[in-house]
Amino acid sequence: MSADLIFYTNPISRGRIVRWMLEEVGAPYETVLLDYASTLKEAAYLAINPMGKIPAIVHRGEVVTECAAICAYLADAFPAAGLAPATSDRAAYYRWLFFAAGPVEQAITNTSMGLAPTEQQQRMAGYGSLDRVVDVLEKAVAVHPYVAGDRFTAADVYVGAQIGWGMQFGTLPKRDAFIAYGERVMARDAYKRATGIDDALMPAPEPASA
Ligand SMILES: N[C@@H](CCC(=O)N[C@@H](CS)C(=O)NCC(=O)O)C(=O)O
Protein backbone atom coordinates (compact mmCIF):
# COMPACT_ATOMS: atom_id res chain seq x y z
CA MET A 1 0.00 0.00 0.00
CA SER A 2 1.37 3.45 -0.86
CA ALA A 3 2.06 6.05 1.84
CA ASP A 4 -0.56 8.54 2.99
CA LEU A 5 1.77 11.43 2.23
CA ILE A 6 4.15 11.36 -0.73
CA PHE A 7 6.68 14.10 -1.45
CA TYR A 8 8.11 14.58 -4.96
CA THR A 9 11.32 16.53 -5.01
CA ASN A 10 14.97 16.96 -5.88
CA PRO A 11 17.48 18.33 -3.35
CA ILE A 12 18.45 21.09 -5.79
CA SER A 13 15.03 22.70 -5.90
CA ARG A 14 12.33 24.61 -4.09
CA GLY A 15 11.46 21.19 -2.70
CA ARG A 16 13.71 22.20 0.20
CA ILE A 17 10.97 24.58 1.33
CA VAL A 18 8.45 21.76 1.44
CA ARG A 19 10.89 19.40 3.15
CA TRP A 20 11.28 22.03 5.88
CA MET A 21 7.51 22.27 6.23
CA LEU A 22 7.15 18.47 6.32
CA GLU A 23 9.72 18.30 9.09
CA GLU A 24 7.85 21.02 11.00
CA VAL A 25 4.63 19.02 10.70
CA GLY A 26 6.28 15.81 11.84
CA ALA A 27 3.98 13.40 9.96
CA PRO A 28 5.61 10.43 8.23
CA TYR A 29 6.11 10.88 4.49
CA GLU A 30 7.63 9.00 1.60
CA THR A 31 10.09 10.87 -0.62
CA VAL A 32 10.22 10.33 -4.38
CA LEU A 33 13.32 11.84 -5.94
CA LEU A 34 12.94 13.07 -9.50
CA ASP A 35 15.65 13.76 -12.02
CA TYR A 36 15.62 17.00 -14.01
CA ALA A 37 16.86 15.29 -17.16
CA SER A 38 14.41 12.39 -17.14
CA THR A 39 11.67 11.48 -14.65
CA LEU A 40 10.50 15.07 -14.07
CA LYS A 41 9.06 15.26 -17.59
CA GLU A 42 7.85 11.68 -17.91
CA ALA A 43 4.18 10.72 -18.10
CA ALA A 44 4.06 9.20 -14.61
CA TYR A 45 5.01 12.51 -12.98
CA LEU A 46 3.15 14.72 -15.47
CA ALA A 47 0.01 12.91 -14.33
CA ILE A 48 0.70 14.38 -10.87
CA ASN A 49 1.93 17.81 -11.90
CA PRO A 50 1.31 18.60 -15.57
CA MET A 51 3.66 21.59 -15.13
CA GLY A 52 6.50 19.09 -14.90
CA LYS A 53 7.84 20.97 -11.89
CA ILE A 54 8.78 20.09 -8.36
CA PRO A 55 7.88 20.03 -5.56
CA ALA A 56 4.50 18.34 -5.28
CA ILE A 57 2.82 16.32 -2.58
CA VAL A 58 0.08 13.73 -2.74
CA HIS A 59 -1.86 13.44 0.50
CA ARG A 60 -4.50 10.72 0.74
CA GLY A 61 -4.71 10.75 -3.05
CA GLU A 62 -5.03 14.54 -3.43
CA VAL A 63 -2.33 16.45 -5.30
CA VAL A 64 -1.03 19.79 -4.03
CA THR A 65 1.55 21.80 -5.98
CA GLU A 66 3.08 25.27 -5.46
CA CYS A 67 5.32 25.62 -2.42
CA ALA A 68 3.25 28.25 -0.66
CA ALA A 69 0.03 26.29 -1.18
CA ILE A 70 1.71 23.13 0.09
CA CYS A 71 2.89 24.93 3.24
CA ALA A 72 -0.60 26.29 3.93
CA TYR A 73 -2.22 22.93 3.11
CA LEU A 74 0.06 20.97 5.44
CA ALA A 75 -0.53 23.43 8.27
CA ASP A 76 -4.28 22.84 7.93
CA ALA A 77 -4.04 19.09 7.33
CA PHE A 78 -1.95 18.59 10.47
CA PRO A 79 -3.40 21.08 12.98
CA ALA A 80 -1.66 19.45 15.94
CA ALA A 81 1.60 20.99 14.71
CA GLY A 82 0.13 24.45 15.44
CA LEU A 83 1.50 26.05 12.27
CA ALA A 84 -1.58 28.01 11.20
CA PRO A 85 -3.26 30.76 13.23
CA ALA A 86 -6.94 30.43 14.12
CA THR A 87 -9.11 31.10 11.05
CA SER A 88 -10.32 34.35 12.63
CA ASP A 89 -6.73 35.56 12.94
CA ARG A 90 -5.22 34.93 9.52
CA ALA A 91 -4.92 38.42 8.03
CA ALA A 92 -1.14 38.76 8.29
CA TYR A 93 -0.64 35.03 7.71
CA TYR A 94 -2.36 35.04 4.31
CA ARG A 95 -1.11 38.47 3.39
CA TRP A 96 2.60 37.73 3.72
CA LEU A 97 2.41 34.16 2.48
CA PHE A 98 0.82 35.33 -0.77
CA PHE A 99 3.04 38.41 -0.95
CA ALA A 100 6.13 36.18 -0.81
CA ALA A 101 4.77 33.70 -3.35
CA GLY A 102 3.62 36.42 -5.76
CA PRO A 103 5.40 39.80 -5.75
CA VAL A 104 8.58 38.69 -3.97
CA GLU A 105 9.08 35.58 -6.12
CA GLN A 106 8.34 37.46 -9.35
CA ALA A 107 10.55 40.43 -8.47
CA ILE A 108 13.48 38.18 -7.60
CA THR A 109 13.06 36.00 -10.69
CA ASN A 110 12.72 38.90 -13.10
CA THR A 111 15.63 40.80 -11.59
CA SER A 112 17.93 37.78 -11.69
CA MET A 113 17.03 37.39 -15.38
CA GLY A 114 17.94 41.01 -16.01
CA LEU A 115 14.32 42.14 -16.46
CA ALA A 116 13.43 45.48 -14.87
CA PRO A 117 10.02 47.01 -15.66
CA THR A 118 9.96 50.66 -16.73
CA GLU A 119 8.00 53.08 -14.55
CA GLN A 120 5.02 52.64 -16.85
CA GLN A 121 5.29 48.82 -16.79
CA GLN A 122 5.53 48.83 -12.98
CA ARG A 123 1.86 49.76 -12.81
CA MET A 124 0.98 46.54 -14.60
CA ALA A 125 3.59 44.27 -12.99
CA GLY A 126 2.06 42.82 -9.82
CA TYR A 127 5.22 43.53 -7.88
CA GLY A 128 5.82 47.08 -9.07
CA SER A 129 9.56 47.24 -8.54
CA LEU A 130 12.12 45.14 -6.69
CA ASP A 131 13.07 48.12 -4.49
CA ARG A 132 9.49 48.61 -3.34
CA VAL A 133 9.04 44.87 -2.68
CA VAL A 134 12.24 44.73 -0.63
CA ASP A 135 11.22 47.73 1.49
CA VAL A 136 7.78 46.28 2.19
CA LEU A 137 9.18 42.83 2.98
CA GLU A 138 11.71 44.36 5.36
CA LYS A 139 8.95 46.06 7.35
CA ALA A 140 6.86 42.87 7.35
CA VAL A 141 9.58 40.87 9.11
CA ALA A 142 10.64 43.66 11.45
CA VAL A 143 7.33 44.32 13.25
CA HIS A 144 7.00 41.04 15.16
CA PRO A 145 9.34 38.13 15.76
CA TYR A 146 7.44 36.19 13.08
CA VAL A 147 5.68 37.38 9.96
CA ALA A 148 2.16 36.71 11.26
CA GLY A 149 2.82 37.80 14.84
CA ASP A 150 4.48 36.36 17.92
CA ARG A 151 4.18 32.75 16.86
CA PHE A 152 6.03 30.80 14.15
CA THR A 153 3.65 29.67 11.37
CA ALA A 154 3.75 28.03 7.94
CA ALA A 155 4.09 31.53 6.47
CA ASP A 156 7.51 31.77 8.12
CA VAL A 157 8.64 28.60 6.37
CA TYR A 158 7.89 30.14 2.98
CA VAL A 159 8.88 33.74 3.73
CA GLY A 160 11.96 32.53 5.64
CA ALA A 161 13.08 30.36 2.73
CA GLN A 162 12.65 33.22 0.25
CA ILE A 163 14.65 35.57 2.45
CA GLY A 164 17.34 33.02 3.29
CA TRP A 165 17.92 32.01 -0.31
CA GLY A 166 17.55 35.57 -1.54
CA MET A 167 20.42 36.68 0.67
CA GLN A 168 22.46 33.55 -0.07
CA PHE A 169 22.21 34.00 -3.84
CA GLY A 170 22.51 37.78 -3.71
CA THR A 171 19.03 38.45 -5.07
CA LEU A 172 17.95 40.17 -1.83
CA PRO A 173 20.09 42.68 0.06
CA LYS A 174 21.49 41.64 3.44
CA ARG A 175 19.49 44.13 5.49
CA ASP A 176 19.63 43.83 9.28
CA ALA A 177 15.95 42.86 9.55
CA PHE A 178 16.38 40.07 6.98
CA ILE A 179 19.47 38.73 8.73
CA ALA A 180 17.81 38.76 12.18
CA TYR A 181 14.61 37.14 10.88
CA GLY A 182 16.53 34.57 8.82
CA GLU A 183 18.61 33.56 11.83
CA ARG A 184 15.48 33.25 13.97
CA VAL A 185 13.56 30.96 11.64
CA MET A 186 16.53 28.91 10.46
CA ALA A 187 17.52 28.12 14.04
CA ARG A 188 14.56 25.74 14.17
CA ASP A 189 15.25 22.02 14.55
CA ALA A 190 12.95 21.21 11.63
CA TYR A 191 14.94 23.50 9.33
CA LYS A 192 18.20 21.88 10.36
CA ARG A 193 16.78 18.37 9.96
CA ALA A 194 15.37 19.16 6.52
CA THR A 195 18.60 20.75 5.35
CA GLY A 196 20.59 17.76 6.60
CA ILE A 197 18.36 15.33 4.71
CA ASP A 198 18.54 17.28 1.45
CA ASP A 199 22.27 17.94 1.75
CA ALA A 200 22.83 14.20 2.13
CA LEU A 201 20.87 13.63 -1.10
CA MET A 202 23.01 16.03 -3.13
CA PRO A 203 24.90 14.46 -6.02
CA ALA A 204 28.58 13.80 -5.34
CA PRO A 205 30.84 16.48 -6.84
CA GLU A 206 32.50 15.58 -10.14
CA PRO A 207 36.08 14.37 -9.55
CA ALA A 208 38.64 16.99 -10.62
CA SER A 209 40.19 16.06 -13.97
CA ALA A 210 43.93 15.41 -13.98
N1 LIG B 1 5.82 28.07 -8.52
C2 LIG B 1 6.41 26.78 -8.28
C3 LIG B 1 7.79 26.75 -8.91
C4 LIG B 1 8.29 25.35 -9.08
C5 LIG B 1 9.58 25.33 -9.89
O6 LIG B 1 9.82 26.18 -10.77
N7 LIG B 1 10.38 24.30 -9.65
C8 LIG B 1 11.62 24.14 -10.38
C9 LIG B 1 12.71 23.68 -9.42
S10 LIG B 1 13.02 24.86 -8.16
C11 LIG B 1 11.45 23.05 -11.42
O12 LIG B 1 10.79 22.06 -11.20
N13 LIG B 1 12.11 23.20 -12.58
C14 LIG B 1 12.21 22.17 -13.57
C15 LIG B 1 11.64 22.56 -14.89
O16 LIG B 1 10.89 23.53 -14.99
O17 LIG B 1 11.95 21.84 -15.84
C18 LIG B 1 6.44 26.47 -6.77
O19 LIG B 1 6.46 27.41 -5.98
O20 LIG B 1 6.41 25.31 -6.37
Ligand 1 centroid to residue 54 C-alpha, Å: 5
The yes-or-no verdict on residue 1 having pLDDT over 90 is no
The protein residue whose alpha carbon is closest to atom 5 in ligand 1 is: 53
| Angstrom distance (rounded) from CA 48 to CA 164 | 29
DSSP notation for the chain? ---SEEEEE-SSSTHHHHHHHHHHH----EEEE--TTTGGGSHHHHTT-TT--S-EEEETTEEEESHHHHHHHHHHH-GGG--S--GGG-HHHHHHHHHIIIIIHHHHHHHHTT----HHHHTTSTT--HHHHHHHHHHHHHSSSBTTBSS--HHHHHHHHHHHHHHHTTSS---HHHHHHHHHHHTSHHHHHHHHHHHHTSPPPPPPP-
Q: Is 52 a pocket residue for ligand 1 (Cβ < 6 Å)?
A: yes
Categorize the per-residue pLDDT at 210 as very low, low, confident or very high, splitting at 50, 70 and 90.
low
Percent of the chain at pLDDT > 70 equals 98
Q: Is 67 a pocket residue for ligand 1 (Cβ < 6 Å)?
A: yes
| Angstrom distance (rounded) from CA 115 to CA 53 | 23
Q: What is the pTM of this model?
A: 0.96
pLDDT at 98: 98
Ligand 1 centroid to residue 210 C-alpha, Å: 36
pLDDT of 153-183, one tens digit each? 999 999 999 999 999 999 999 999 999 999 9
The yes-or-no verdict on residue 18 having pLDDT over 90 is yes
Q: Looking at 100-104, 170-174, 199-203, 204-208, which range is the least confident one? A: 204-208
Q: Is 9 a pocket residue for ligand 1 (Cβ < 6 Å)?
A: no
Mean pLDDT, rounded, of the chain: 96
Ligand 1 centroid to residue 14 C-alpha, Å: 7
Ligand 1 centroid to residue 55 C-alpha, Å: 7
Ligand 1 nearest atom to the CA of residue 10, by list position = 9
pLDDT of 32-86, one tens digit each? 999 999 999 999 999 999 999 999 999 999 999 999 999 999 999 999 999 999 9
Q: Is 11 a pocket residue for ligand 1 (Cβ < 6 Å)?
A: no
Categorize the per-residue pLDDT at 133 as very low, low, confident or very high, splitting at 50, 70 and 90.
very high
